Amino acid sequence: MGLLDSLKQEAMAAVNKFAGDHPQLGSEITNLVHSGPGGLSGLVQQFQKNGLGSIIQSWVSTGPNQPITAQQIQQALGSDRVKQIAARIGLDPNVVSQKLSTVLPQIVNHLTPNGQLPATPPPQAPKAPQAPAR
């Protein structure tokens, strides 16, 4: 099993632990952390871009996690993205934001136990087609 697969398995276990009574939300959180642009690093960059870098950095670091409000979740992820998640799992966007404000800090904290983002292997360049051997 590769490093990325191991991280995904670990994230799913953490998500299931923290998502509680909304397993569909767990799947959406996994998508935020792994399938979004740039994975966990991309999520951190998105928070930084939207003025919430110090909050998510506290979740990554080994110190205490700063709280985040449901409104700040919508600011960080974008209200349209929160609405899309809510529509897919059949919950009100405000409920989704509130749940994410509770669960996301724990997930990010769990995935960064050493206070650093996990190293991800660089994307592999596509191989150039080779001429058939003669």
Report pTM: 0.75
Within-domain flag for 57: yes
Using CA atoms, how far apart are residues 74 and 61, in angstroms rounded to an integer?
22
pLDDT of residue 122: 43
Within-domain flag for 129: no
Nearest alpha-carbon partner for 103 in 75, 67, 71: 67
pLDDT of 6 higher than 80: no
Within-domain flag for 2: no
pLDDT in tens, 74-108: 999 999 999 999 999 999 999 999 999 998 998 89
Local structure of residue 10 (DSSP, 8 states)? H
pLDDT higher at 126 or 15: 15
Domain count, the chain: 1
Within-domain flag for 119: no
> What's the rounded mean pLDDT across residues 2-7?
56
